[in-house]
Chain A
């Protein structure tokens, strides 16, 4: 369960840092005034931004748990890794393109350039569809090689994790569709900006999750950690 504990520790550090700025040492029984004990932050965040942040923490927890389960299982002696279909690498490229396009759209929307925002969103959608199609192709390749969902723990985990990630990407497509709707209807610039920003953040997170999943599924993360372990034990630290 180390992966999820690391994830929780990071969240706890973040929460602790945030809480430390909330006047937890204040003595509220002594302070009677309208402003309270805390200055308002200069640039208040939108509820939707905070909501997305909390939601991503929940999604992060979900994937950290999946990875934890994977690691717990992979540590057993009878573990047999499954070869990754090569198409996952071009797929990764698609997801990177989608994320970059949305970053570009975000920059455009911030400057008030709706044309850029629109173009970025279109490129992102196409790249995201290509990613999803590529993931389906990866499943077909595995199945073609005789690796079905019930062929063994490693391959079951591959299907499960890619499915979980794919479903979140599909969820992101709906968010993108909403962004499109706002751009097309020419909603207020503020709303479009917020919408593009939320979509960009979500897609960046999906890319981040995918890269971590890829590192875990390809076994690189495990190799990296074992090398770290060797270095530490070699230097006499453990």
Chain B
């Protein structure tokens, strides 16, 4: 067997897309702080998201401290407990997961993976990060205002969110709403960039169907976010009106402490519709980038082409579309026409079909693959298992009759933590281990990474599996104090204490990860340009880490799809996307 370059396509025609003008940096400030380079913005986004995520992690410790050892710490009273769960939820879902997947990975990977020099609107991209940072600062500020942050629960349901007995009713809720509005404005600037860059700046030969699934996942999730976040925006603005101007969009006629409030005629259910019209797509806004990234991690580290690439693309698109017509399954207990319940239960369960296709395809990609148990692969495998587990309990909750008794129990908490807490976080870790060498030019330490994986993965199961049992027993969520609940036996309290101890350990283990990130920056093994021997374009840059403009003088030309691993007859077990075509001929014996 010999590889002979194909004459016709070996010399590629020049790129057809126009060269973009790059706003080059002129000094330290414009290189590292007010940078318009998507790669720097990506790191800024990721660092901010991880930092605010660490705050949310500490909040989860405080929650577990109260649940496992009620009354052990006098500092945690009922008010503070509600503030902790509210801020924990909102930070993790919006300010960590959404920002990290789209702002972090989106910014870094989209231009590199599609062979662009940068995002198409670099200035708006920079602005996007700074508005996001402002949103985070406003959110953090709510910890320091009189009354503290809002304690309305992450769903911020009115009327209780703005009634006087809810913690943070005075300033906390206002800052939360303002912060969300800022976040959405900032995201829209970034989101326009990600979408238009994918549509307009792909290098020659990079058709949509040659894009790596990571880009597909981020692309579709971005479009969903652009269309779904306005619902949260509208809800937040309307609630601000209710709070500050005395309107009654969401506030019904109310009597509080024997006094009639000035509100009247509003509909709390209206808020729920708006919130969940954003809230459910949000699950997939987080999940789709994770799906895409996992596909690429598995393919690369199992040295096999992704199984059913087209199916994977279609499934991403279909899941994205379907996720807009399932929102009311979050509102079964709010009361609705039985036919609506039936409709939403059906659409909810239909989503399981494209999702299952993806899971089968991941497993079939692994089948007889050359599996390398590198940290990215471990995390990817951890994701598949966790996502399936979390997804299966979703089938229970998607059914109206099963959901009603399980609603507001720890079962729901366990379900969504598995499916959209632990699972996407595992992908984030895997992705960081995978792309850190490109970002810094050095490998993360393998031993620390494996320790980090096993503690996090096993720990997450020890935390969230028992929660399903607590939920089935009837243990309610959001309760500050459950020691007096008759249905909970002594053993359930012991289980709560156990969960809390594991949560502390898993939380502390993240220090190893942070240490690894910092230590390897200077002391890690030199990575070289393509340490994982991967096919996608970001590993084929002339420099590592890539310079501003990514590609040196000429843009790369793409000749093949992103998954040419272990091609029979090829000299190596991977063929980069920018390697020209070769024809394989039998050599005479």
Contact = CB atoms under 8 A, between A and B. Distances in A.
B43 to A, nearest CB: 24
Contacts of B241: 149, 156, 160
Contact of A54 (B195, B305, B321, B560): B195
A61 interface: yes
Given A34-B12, A57-B227, A65 B274 contact: yes
Interface residues of B, number: 63
Interface stretch (A72-80, A104-112, A113-121, A177-185): A72-80
A149 B580 CA distance: 65
Contact of B205 (A25, A34, A45): A34
B237 A160 contact: yes
Contacts of B277: 1, 4, 65
A47 B120 contact: yes
Contacts of B13: 34-35
Contacts of B206: 36
Interface string B177-205: 00000000000100110011001110011
A25 B277 CA distance: 31
Contacts of A22: 207-209
Contact of A29 (B12, B274, B305): B305
Contacts, number: 155
B196 A51 contact: yes
A35 B249 contact: no
Contact of B207 (A11, A19, A23): A23
B559 interface: yes
Contacts of A5: 324-325
Contacts of B465: none
A28 interface: yes
A51 B309 contact: no
B205 A61 contact: no
A69 B248 CA distance: 13
A186 interface: no
B265 interface: yes
Contacts of A156: 241, 247-249
A61 B227 contact: yes
A66 interface: yes
29 contacts: A12-B321, A22-B207, A22-B209, A23-B209, A24-B313, A29-B309, A32-B9, A33-B9, A34-B9, A34-B204, A34-B205, A34-B557, A34-B558, A36-B207, A37-B210, A40-B16, A47-B201, A51-B121, A54-B195, A54-B226, A58-B192, A58-B227, A65-B277, A69-B273, A69-B274, A76-B267, A153-B265, A156-B247, A164-B237
Interface of A: 1, 4-5, 8, 11-12, 15, 19, 22-29, 31-38, 40, 44-45, 47, 50-51, 54-55, 57-58, 61-62, 65-66, 68-69, 72-73, 76, 78, 149-150, 152-153, 156-157, 160, 164
